[in-house]
Structure 1
Amino acid sequence: MDGSLTVEDGSIRDLLAIVTSGLDGLDELPIERLRAPLARIATRLTGNRRRKAARNVARHYDLSNEFYALFLDEDWQYSCAYFCEGCSSLEDAQAAKRSHIGQKLMVGEGMSVLDIGCGWGGLAIELAKQGAAEVLGISLSQEQLTLARQRAEEAGFAEEARFDFCDYRDLQGEFDRIVSVGMFEHVGPASYGSFFRAIEEHLAPDGVAVVHSIGRMAPPGGKDPWVDKYIFPGGYIPSLSETLSVVERMGLWVTDIEILRLHYAETLAHWYERFQSRREKALELFDERFCRMWEYYLAACEMMFRNGNLMVFQLQLAHKRDAVPLTREYLYAPRDQSVVPRDAGGNHLRCSCSARSRLLGTSNSEGVPPMRYDGSSTS
């Protein structure tokens, strides 16, 4: 960040690819075996109370919409994309992510939807287009809310897609569907009970919820001190074990779990390259130290997904065991043979899965192409 390290042949991304290739060996060092338990104990106390949560969100997400426009896709998706077969660009992969989550939500016409941590409104507006009568997106970022409202107005869905400054602990009402993408990483272990209790209390009896989050394929650990100080204050990457133990206490059914492994590495590679291509613009907004900080952040995160223990998980939750179909065929049905899910009484739900695929123009194939990092462009 200070400019005292110069990579003469290659980039900081290349250097981090080499450094992180030996992470498994570092975990076996005696000092790490001593540090890890202490870090886990300290992290148990991590949680974001309302006022602290708002401050932490502002630190990262309110940098300016102009800044995030430098490297995000045209729909402003700031979370892991879904690189299914046929996704040749970041735009395609982010559209596939929205479609995939939409399939899991099974949004029917006239349903109410809650989007916890709605970002810049892309998913909420998409769900409104698919027929949801009312979509409420909540965020603690004023910058995001301003643009989300503007986008809904421009798309002609300002009445169907509404966006409010609201903490998930202050919610009122009941929703047929609840979705949260890329927000759970900001909750903290001490607040997991509050988060899943909000889902349990506000999800309709026959409703479906989907939580999409970065996770770790290892037991609970500590926070990254550099990321906590400079990028995401108050953030914490959960393990599945500590997440599911709270879900179980809430009495919710986990109707589906999916692990996305290298998808976020590919997403971050696209962001890094886009950031580099518009670095001069970033310099106009901030300064050289800030640009070096973000280069390191994007490259380090990419390599932790390629060589470390990070992944992304999607949890599908419900009150009832039969709230969703009993097999996963409905997620990948051909466009003209979409499985129409039924409710507990055997009645067809009005779920336009095939219409959703046509609207987004994305593939529903399960195939994911091989992904690797060889130091060259991944575009």
Structure 2
Amino acid sequence: MNTMLRAVLTRMIKAGDLTVTDADGNRHQFGDKTGVPVHIRFNNRQAERAVVLDPELKVGECFMDGDIDFVEGDVYSFLQLVFENTGPTAATEPWMKMIGRMRVLLRRFQQMNTIARSSRNIKSHYDLSGELYDLFLDPDKQYSCAYFDPPNATLAEAQLAKKRHIAAKLLVREGDKVLDIGCGWGGMGLYLARHLKANVTGVTLSEEQYGIANKRAEEEGLADRAKFLLTDYRSIHDRFDRLVSVGMFEHVGVGHFGEYFQHVARLLKPDGIFLLHSIGRADGPGATNPFIRKYIFPGGYIPALSEVLPHIEKAGLYVTDIEILRLHYAETLKAWREAFIARRDEAKALYDERFCRMWEFYLAASESAFRWQNMMVFHIQIAHRQDAVPLTRSYIEAEEKRLKRLDSALRIANSEETAGKCSMQA
């Protein structure tokens, strides 16, 4: 085994049961043999050297390329073993920390997200086959953190609760003009149009999402109240009563935060409300994980609140509410990871083994980041005026309860309509 790799693993893995088979076929034991056994095999010496020098990139890359395999356990159990031994930061060696500091220094260059570059970055991920996302997302195709209220909710129930929670904070009135920045496949916008009779405009840079969102609006008879555009939010020149953005801010880039909130101030009417839902760092500024940046979300960056709030202030906007969602995304990603693994053969038929390994690592590493590292999700409610929302937060719970009753009524009505159609066909 590579001498450096053996030394690092000996220092790092004190608890747990890790077996490593090196490129020469020799087995090495690390930890105290407690917990779930994990056995990893290196298929060549280059992988041993690469993993010890730059583990944040190379563990995932070598797994994706077949240079390492799991004989016992899987990616997720291996990452759990590592983080339970090291805490939030697995990069413990001096050279690993130096590489991390270099990535922080380079992040502004890597995240120069002009309109053209943003479009290319988004297409590389969100224009993958819609059939792929159907394998693991809920039926509404919500590709962001769910809200587990109650904690034992199914994924579909938790995603519906997320939409209710956001809608309650927006205080949407019938006829309000709403802009959904980064609308995905249209689920949030359609919810606001359907439940609250808002006039919704959604924007996306993904052709796949654009097509599906508008098709859904047509099929639900909501095309008169919900339209989705294939354009950048910076190209919108209207003003809106409400703005909402769910899971898009992570694509803005640290060098564009000021620009983003200047546009928010421009787009939001004087008495308007904006709700920002974004992944965040609980431990301060950092750099995008190199595997995620290279293979999953080029140009992306997860911000710390300390990096976001100054730009809101400079744009002349008020923060009227902040909420931190802690383990909700860990549970969301668990549901996605398990669903993907259960239908892995279908994903392989769409793409190939290398893609499936890449996606497995992405989902496992992302869940690990929320469960054992310092990732969370924040909601920031923003307005031009301090009195744009009520004085206390009780209105949020009251509106959620009202929307929950409306959800039940609509579900019953849809069931009766479906039953009536089946009866007529019979």
Gap regions ≥5 residues in structure 1: 339-352, 363-379
Q: Could you tell me whether the CA contact under 8 Å between 2:82 and 2:90 is conserved in 1?
A: no
Separation of aligned partners in 1, 2:337 and 2:185: 20
Tell me which amino acid in the other structure corresponds to 1:358.
R
- CA shift, 1:332, in A, is 1.4
Q: Could you tell me whether the CA contact under 8 Å between 1:115 and 1:137 is conserved in 2?
A: yes
Aligned residue for 1:168?
233
Separation of aligned partners in 2, 1:5 and 1:280: 20
Q: Could you tell me whether the CA contact under 8 Å between 1:141 and 1:165 is conserved in 2?
A: yes
- For 1:21-170, list aligned pairs within 5 A: 21=84, 22-24=86-88, 26=90, 29-45=93-109, 46-85=111-150, 87-170=152-235
1:19 to 82, 85, 91: 82
Separation of aligned partners in 2, 1:98 and 1:186: 21
Separation of aligned partners in 1, 2:173 and 2:179: 14
Aligned residue for 2:371?
306
Tell me which amino acid in the other structure corresponds to 1:213.
S
- CA shift, 1:131, in A, is 2.9
Deviates more, 1:177-186 or 1:221-230: 221-230
- CA shift, 1:8, in A, is 2.1
Three-state SS of the structure 1 residue aligned to 2:319 is strand
Q: Is 1:231 aligned to residue 296 of structure 2? A: yes
Residue 146 to residue 330, structure 1, CA distance change in 2 (3 Å): same
Tell me which amino acid in the other structure corresponds to 2:211.
T
Alpha-carbon displacement from aligned partner over 1:188-212 (angstroms, at most 9, x marks no partner): 0111112111110010100000010
Aligned residue for 1:9?
72
Count of residues in Structure 1 that have an aligned counterpart in Structure 2: 344
- For 1:340-351, list aligned pairs within 5 A: none
Residue 331 to residue 133, structure 1, CA distance change in 2 (3 Å): closer
Q: Is 1:255 aligned to residue 320 of structure 2? A: yes
Q: Is 1:359 aligned to residue 406 of structure 2? A: yes
Separation of aligned partners in 2, 1:226 and 1:233: 10
Residue 245 to residue 105, structure 1, CA distance change in 2 (3 Å): same
Three-state SS of the structure 1 residue aligned to 2:160 is helix
Tell me which amino acid in the other structure corresponds to 2:188.
L
Tell me which amino acid in the other structure corresponds to 1:39.
R
Q: Could you tell me whether the CA contact under 8 Å between 1:99 and 1:360 is conserved in 2?
A: no
- CA shift, 1:25, in A, is 5.7
Alpha-carbon displacement from aligned partner over 1:284-311 (angstroms, at most 9, x marks no partner): 1000000010000000100010111111
Tell me which amino acid in the other structure corresponds to 1:138.
V
Q: Is 1:198 aligned to residue 245 of structure 2? A: no
Tell me which amino acid in the other structure corresponds to 1:19.
V
Residue 216 to residue 25, structure 1, CA distance change in 2 (3 Å): closer
Separation of aligned partners in 1, 2:89 and 2:308: 27
Alpha-carbon displacement from aligned partner over 1:45-88 (angstroms, at most 9, x marks no partner): 42310110000000000011111111000100000000112652
Separation of aligned partners in 2, 1:274 and 1:33: 35
Separation of aligned partners in 1, 2:376 and 2:325: 6
Tell me which amino acid in the other structure corresponds to 1:149.
N
Three-state SS of the structure 1 residue aligned to 2:313 is helix
Three-state SS of the structure 1 residue aligned to 2:196 is coil
Alpha-carbon displacement from aligned partner over 1:190-240 (angstroms, at most 9, x marks no partner): 111121111100101000000100110122111211111111111111110
Q: Could you tell me whether the CA contact under 8 Å between 2:173 and 2:198 is conserved in 1?
A: no
Aligned residue for 2:27?
none
- CA shift, 1:358, in A, is 1.5
Tell me which amino acid in the other structure corresponds to 1:14.
S
Aligned residue for 2:32?
none
Aligned-residue Cα RMSD (Å) equals: 1.6
- CA shift, 1:361, in A, is 4.5
Tell me which amino acid in the other structure corresponds to 1:356.
L
Residue 86 to residue 360, structure 1, CA distance change in 2 (3 Å): farther
Separation of aligned partners in 1, 2:125 and 2:284: 27
Q: Is 1:296 aligned to residue 343 of structure 2? A: no
Three-state SS of the structure 2 residue aligned to 1:255 is strand
Separation of aligned partners in 2, 1:275 and 1:120: 19
Three-state SS of the structure 1 residue aligned to 2:165 is helix
Q: Could you tell me whether the CA contact under 8 Å between 2:192 and 2:198 is conserved in 1?
A: no
Separation of aligned partners in 2, 1:27 and 1:291: 26
TM-score computed with the length of structure 2 as normaliser: 0.78
Question: Which of structures 1 and 2 has the larger relative contact order (alpha carbons within 8 angstroms, sep 6+)?
Answer: 1
Percent of aligned pairs with the same amino acid: 50
Separation of aligned partners in 2, 1:148 and 1:168: 16
Separation of aligned partners in 2, 1:241 and 1:216: 9
Separation of aligned partners in 2, 1:25 and 1:312: 19
Tell me which amino acid in the other structure corresponds to 2:116.
R
Aligned residue for 2:15?
none
Three-state SS of the structure 1 residue aligned to 2:382 is strand
Aligned residue for 2:310?
245
Three-state SS of the structure 2 residue aligned to 1:48 is coil
Q: Could you tell me whether the CA contact under 8 Å between 1:76 and 1:122 is conserved in 2?
A: yes
Gap regions ≥5 residues in structure 2: 1-63, 410-426
- CA shift, 1:355, in A, is 3.9
Q: Could you tell me whether the CA contact under 8 Å between 1:120 and 1:148 is conserved in 2?
A: yes
Three-state SS of the structure 1 residue aligned to 2:173 is coil
Residue 87 to residue 126, structure 1, CA distance change in 2 (3 Å): farther
